[in-house]
Chain A
Amino acid sequence: MSILDVVNPVEPFLRTDRMPHIWCPGCGIGTTVNCFARALIESKVDLQSIALVSGIGCTGRVAGYVKLDSFHTTHGRAIPFATGLKLANPKLNVVVYSGDGDLSAIGGNHLIHAARRNIDLKVICVNNLIYAMTGGQTAPTTPGHAITSTSPYGAFEPAFNLPHLVEAAGAVYVARWTTFHVRQLARSIAEAFQKKGFSFIEVISPCPTLYQRRNRLGDGLDTMKYYKEKSKVRHGAPTGEVGLTMMGEIVVGKFVDRDRADYQELLRAQMVESLGERYVEPSENVCSCG
């Protein structure tokens, strides 16, 4: 067998007819997609059952590159779209794959409410600390002092600590890795497929074109060195202590892994309690459309 015959194991999960992708050299989003595909292989989840929903932005383009039922929705609304998809067909494994600006700024309200309801969604949030698609503006995740195109003298608004936010709102599984931690990330995604309820995985990822360059932080490789040197694995770390600073320590690991009834279990229990045998399971009548 020639070396040219070797197939990349993640290739079957990609729409190769859409390559090359739009992501910049050194960008971490492609790495996360690779981890996602490896997690699908590892978890042996039925691919036909997976639907992937993205919002808008660089990470929002993931939906367009995976060979799955995939939905590129509107800015910030991936989670409510995914909610409808999951409730209409509970057999689906619904993954939300989007960026920090999409999920925590314009989509922030949906993020906390989906966590509160404990909708059975696997949310992968690629956090590059910036709005990248639009040219590098300040996001709710941008650390203090960072230079962005809309904070030319340095960002000063306090940033969201996303693991803390979603834990407080009710997520059952919360983890954070960087794009340096490819094996751990793939394992976390596979683990989320075993969980029922709202899972949230934050992936810290470089944007060499906008964030790293403007802040003179080097290129993608320099960022990998930073992630390697400054990341500290602390499973179970209190999420209140995992906030990010510009060049400080990055606490990574699995922070939350707990069980509570998800939305559909709660709904069913309440309806059965109130309606008894009169209650008709929605799943018995999913396709009311002939």
Chain B
Amino acid sequence: MQADPRGVLTGTHFIDGDHACCEGALAAGARFAAGYPITPSTEVVERFAARVPVVGGTFIQMEDELAASITLQGAVWGGAKAFTVTSGPGFSLMMEHIGYAAMTETPCVFVDVQRGGPSTGLPTLPAQADMMQARWGSHGDYEIIALCPNSPQECFDLTIRAFNFSEEFRVPVMLMMDEVVGHMTEKVVIPAADQIEVVPRRHTRKSIEDYLPYATNGDGVPEMAHAGEGYNFHVTGLTHDERGYPNMTPQTQDKLVRRLQSKILDAADRITLLDEEGLEDAEVVVISYGITSRVAQRAVELAREQGLRVGKLRLITCWPFPEKRIRELATKTKAFVVPELNLGQMVREVERAAGGRARTFAIPHAGGSVHRPEDILRVIVEATR
């Protein structure tokens, strides 16, 4: 369906990534946000608080991130599209409810504007060190989707994608921004509402008698009902059967948890978004994401100027990890070079997918600034040898 024009600020804007993310959420149909102030993410909900009363929706500032991350899920079951925004310390507190959203299949979006950690770390400076936390932070086995924008324009575009994926797969989707992308100001083009594709909720059309809240067919994604419609459904974070009733047996656990995984992994090709350049004859492929991809771009250009056969692979979808593509490339490439603003997170996934067929070079950075293109170039040169 097309976006509701009331939420779409069509035009050309000069705004930062945080504000663009807010506009993306409004365009995607988000009419509820619950938040808690934390640098460098707060601007997203500040803008939402200003914008949403004239669009028709609610912002509530909660007492902490534990509350924010579950309040938004109450709103989803009440019929809204909802999200929250945070940074590292708040993201840590939200892990409990990322698990709840995964288990109860509550479509929602968590935005993490990453800053340096651990703990309070570097509140105003960038990092990309929450990438594994986004994937594994809550306990138990589950799958999520994580997208990684590298510009304010993508903060807008990918926020819409994040909502669309969350509705399509009934899964919490993480938008993994970073401080630089959140605070950099660039041109953002917001199209007309009828040019924005919005995925509606998978709302059930079944009769009350026929409706089973967690029954699925085909793609493994159940249909949803909202409170107040007469379905008298039950939702629990306990292991549950198709009726939504607690059923704590190894059989029910196996069936449920495997479905939560396969509904995402079986659709990985569709979820995987990549930005590729010069991979046809590349001896070395630089794999990067988020703000680091902007620096890596320069390093790749410098390497080409030196006549090196270097390609670029930018991960827009970080989770599920695009391992199929990496596996393919590993058979025809000498090496992967992976700069990231952490001491080695996604590089482990690259290494795993490469499976020894191509060498992997990490370029770790503890955060607080970005890499220098020359530092990446040096490793590219080393990798070509």
In the complex, the answer to whether A287 meets B79 with C-beta atoms within 8 Å is yes
Interface locus among A32-40, A77-85, A174-182: A77-85
Interface locus among A86-94, A152-160, A238-246: A86-94
The residue in chain A whose Cβ has the minimal distance to the Cβ of B74 is A84
Starting from the known contacts A84-B60, A85-B78, 19 additional A-B residue pairs (CB-CB under 8 Å) come to A51-B227, A69-B229, A71-B74, A74-B97, A74-B237, A77-B96, A80-B34, A80-B74, A84-B82, A87-B75, A88-B32, A88-B79, A92-B78, A92-B228, A109-B63, A280-B6, A282-B56, A285-B31, A289-B201
Interface residues of A in 241-290 (CB under 8 A from B): 267, 271, 275, 278-282, 284-290
B residues less than 8 Å from A86 (CB atoms): 74, 78
A158 smallest CB distance to B (angstroms): 23
Interface string of A78-119 (1 = CB under 8 A from B): 001111111111011000000000000000011001000000
In the complex, the answer to whether A84 meets B236 with C-beta atoms within 8 Å is no
In the complex, the answer to whether A290 meets B238 with C-beta atoms within 8 Å is no
B residues less than 8 Å from A287 (CB atoms): 79-80, 201, 226
In the complex, the answer to whether B80 meets A69 with C-beta atoms within 8 Å is no
In the complex, the answer to whether B57 meets A83 with C-beta atoms within 8 Å is no
Interface status of B231 (Cβ within 8 A of chain A): yes
Task: State A49–B229 Cα separation when bound (angstroms).
Answer: 8
A176 smallest CB distance to B (angstroms): 25
Interface status of A27 (Cβ within 8 A of chain B): no
Interface status of B100 (Cβ within 8 A of chain A): yes
Task: State A84–B79 Cα separation when bound (angstroms).
Answer: 10
B residues less than 8 Å from A64 (CB atoms): 234, 236, 245-246
Interface string of B93-120 (1 = CB under 8 A from A): 0001100100000000000000000000
Task: State A64–B247 Cα separation when bound (angstroms).
Answer: 11
Interface string of B184-203 (1 = CB under 8 A from A): 00000000000000101101
The residue in chain A whose Cβ has the minimal distance to the Cβ of B167 is A289
22 pairs from A and B in contact (CB 8 Å cutoff): A70-B233, A71-B234, A72-B234, A76-B66, A77-B67, A80-B71, A84-B34, A84-B78, A84-B82, A87-B74, A89-B228, A91-B228, A92-B228, A275-B53, A280-B56, A285-B55, A286-B31, A287-B226, A288-B57, A288-B81, A289-B200, A290-B201
Interface status of B301 (Cβ within 8 A of chain A): no
A4 smallest CB distance to B (angstroms): 26
In the complex, the answer to whether B67 meets A80 with C-beta atoms within 8 Å is yes
Interface status of A63 (Cβ within 8 A of chain B): yes
- A: number of interface residues (CB 8 Å): 48
A281 smallest CB distance to B (angstroms): 7
Interface string of B1-30 (1 = CB under 8 A from A): 100101100000000000000000000011
A residues less than 8 Å from B203 (CB atoms): 289-290
Interface status of A67 (Cβ within 8 A of chain B): yes
Interface status of A48 (Cβ within 8 A of chain B): yes
Interface status of A161 (Cβ within 8 A of chain B): no
Among A18, A88, A275, contact of B54 (Cβ-Cβ < 8 Å): A275
A64 smallest CB distance to B (angstroms): 6
Answer whether A80 and B57 are a contact pair too, CB < 8 Å, given A72-B238, A89-B79, A289-B79: no
Task: State A275–B54 Cα separation when bound (angstroms).
Answer: 8
**7 pairs of A and B residues whose beta carbons are closest in the complex:** A290-B200, A84-B74, A88-B78, A289-B201, A285-B56, A280-B56, A84-B75
B244 smallest CB distance to A (angstroms): 9
Task: State A51–B198 Cα separation when bound (angstroms).
Answer: 28
Interface status of B70 (Cβ within 8 A of chain A): yes
Interface status of A53 (Cβ within 8 A of chain B): yes
Interface status of B232 (Cβ within 8 A of chain A): yes
Interface status of B73 (Cβ within 8 A of chain A): yes
In the complex, the answer to whether A110 meets B30 with C-beta atoms within 8 Å is no
Interface residues of B in 39-94 (CB under 8 A from A): 53-58, 60, 62-64, 66-68, 70-82
In the complex, the answer to whether B81 meets A282 with C-beta atoms within 8 Å is no
Among A72, A92, A279, A285, contact of B236 (Cβ-Cβ < 8 Å): A72
B residues less than 8 Å from A69 (CB atoms): 227-229, 231-233
In the complex, the answer to whether B74 meets A81 with C-beta atoms within 8 Å is yes
In the complex, the answer to whether A53 meets B96 with C-beta atoms within 8 Å is no
In the complex, the answer to whether A109 meets B53 with C-beta atoms within 8 Å is no
In the complex, the answer to whether B235 meets A70 with C-beta atoms within 8 Å is yes
B69 smallest CB distance to A (angstroms): 9
The residue in chain A whose Cβ has the minimal distance to the Cβ of B1 is A290
In the complex, the answer to whether A80 meets B200 with C-beta atoms within 8 Å is no
B residues less than 8 Å from A18 (CB atoms): 245
In the complex, the answer to whether A280 meets B54 with C-beta atoms within 8 Å is yes
Task: State A83–B238 Cα separation when bound (angstroms).
Answer: 21
